[in-house]
């Protein structure tokens, strides 16, 4: 089940609406792979090579992009058996170099003005 979250900065009044979690469409690895760039898809295929039913967790996670200064939702796939995870690029600026995945229980810092208490509001669900 996915969630729609609205983040608002009390200081500079910037706000972002992002969709996190995952939908019904993301239950198979083949479909999930499309959310990642070509070279990452190759790495993931190598990761699961020879496994009939690899165990994975896929979610859109809240992230802060230091390049374009936005809060975004990025696809992240995790393989619990190897402990490895793979992240896609920022949907706003297309790079992954300065993406920081945010912890779910921490209140995120505003990438625009640096205020440390963005308010996070659940504004809906998707799937």
115 touching Zn ion, by CB under 5 A: yes
User: Least distance (Å) from Zn ion to the CB of residue 114?
Assistant: 7
92 touching Zn ion, by CB under 5 A: yes
- Selected range binding Zn ion among 9-17, 25-33, 36-44, 74-82, rule: CB under 5 A: 9-17
Give residue for tokens 């479909």.
Answer: 31
Residue 5 phi, psi (nearest 5): -125, 140
113 touching Zn ion, by CB under 5 A: yes
Buried b (16+ CB within 10 A) or exposed e, 78-103: bbeeeeeebbbbbbebeebeebeebe
- Find all residues with CB under 8 Å of 55, minimum gap 6, and list them: 79, 80, 81
Candidate residues 4, 29, 48, 68; the one interacting with Zn ion per rule CB under 5 A: 68
The tokens describing 113, both together, are: 């003005």
90 touching Zn ion, by CB under 5 A: yes
Residues lying near Zn ion in the complex (CB under 5 A): 9, 11-12, 65, 67-68, 90, 92-93, 110, 112-113, 115
């Amino acid at each position: 089940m996915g969630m729609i979250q609205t983040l608002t900065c009390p200081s500079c009044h910037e706000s972002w609406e992002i969709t996190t979690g995952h939908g019904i469409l993301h239950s198979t690895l083949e479909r999930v792979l499309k959310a990642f760039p070509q070279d990452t898809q190759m790495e993931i295929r190598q990761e699961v090579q020879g496994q009939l039913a690899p165990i994975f967790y896929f979610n859109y996670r809240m992230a802060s992009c230091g390049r374009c200064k936005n809060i975004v939702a990025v696809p992240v796939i995790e393989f619990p058996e190897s402990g490895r995870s793979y992240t896609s690029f920022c949907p706003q600026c297309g790079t992954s170099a300065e993406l920081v995945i945010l912890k779910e229980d921490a209140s995120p810092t505003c990438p625009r003005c640096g205020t440390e208490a963005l308010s996070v509001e659940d504004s809906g669900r998707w799937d």
